[in-house]
């Protein structure tokens, strides 16, 4: 029996949400025409379990820093995250990949979630705005 080589590429396409219409849309790449581009969606924060573990960028995750995981933005990109429920905002630096839940647009550090005021809720609706690229 011949191996079916198209299964993996299709599975990857489906798992990233590229072949579906649901789920969050990625934040546009930073640049002169997209610096003020925004997106809204659901944010969550890293569990304490990940504190001290390496991120995709190679940095060690510190829950007391203002960092975040995003699927497509380059490492080092600074993003203003605004909690739409209370209008609090923080600037985080992307240093990891995620979130792995396709219904979320960003995972922020515990400290960022605390400043945004959603630690007890676990998730919240946010607006993302790229403010500086690496």
Q: Where are the domains of the chain?
A: 25-132
User: Rounded distance, CA 56 to CA 63, Å?
Assistant: 15
Task: Place 36 in a pLDDT band, splitting at 50, 70 and 90.
Answer: low
pTM score, whole prediction: 0.73
Give SS3 for 14.
helix
Indicate whether 47 pLDDT > 60: yes
Closest CA to 76 of 41, 127, 30: 30
CA 105 to chain centre: 5
User: Rounded distance, CA 25 to CA 90, Å?
Assistant: 21
* pLDDT tens digit sequence for 66-95: 999 999 999 999 999 999 999 999 999 999
Tokens of 51: 């504190």
Q: What is the pLDDT of residue 84?
A: 98
Tokens of 122: 């676990």
The arithmetic mean of pLDDT across residues 56-72, rounded, is 96
Instruction: Report strand pairing: 78-83 vs 123-132.
Output: antiparallel
- In CATH terms, the superfamily for domain 25-132 is RlpA-like domain (2.40.40.10)
Tokens of 41: 């969606």
Tokens of 45: 């924060």
For 21-51, b/e burial (b = at least 16 CB within 10 A) is eeebeebeebeeeeeeeebebebbbbeeebe
30 DSSP assignment: P
- More confidently predicted of 4 and 77: 77
**Range in 33-42, 81-90, 97-106, 118-127 the model is least confident about:** 33-42
Instruction: Report strand pairing: 89-96 vs 67-69.
Output: parallel
């Amino acid at each position: 029996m011949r191996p079916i080589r198209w299964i993996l590429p299709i599975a990857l396409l489906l798992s990233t949400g590229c072949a579906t219409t649901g789920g969050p849309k990625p934040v546009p790449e930073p640049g002169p025409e997209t610096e003020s581009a925004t997106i809204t969606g659901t944010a969550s924060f890293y569990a304490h379990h990940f504190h001290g573990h390496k991120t995709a960028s190679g940095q060690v995750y510190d829950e007391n820093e203002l960092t975040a995981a995003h699927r497509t933005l380059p490492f080092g990109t600074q993003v203003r995250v605004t909690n739409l429920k209370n209008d609090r905002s923080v600037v985080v630096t992307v240093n990891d990949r995620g979130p792995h839940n396709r219904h979320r647009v960003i995972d922020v550090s515990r400290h960022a979630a605390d400043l945004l005021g959603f630690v007890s809720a676990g998730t919240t609706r946010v607006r993302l705005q790229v403010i500086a690229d690496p």
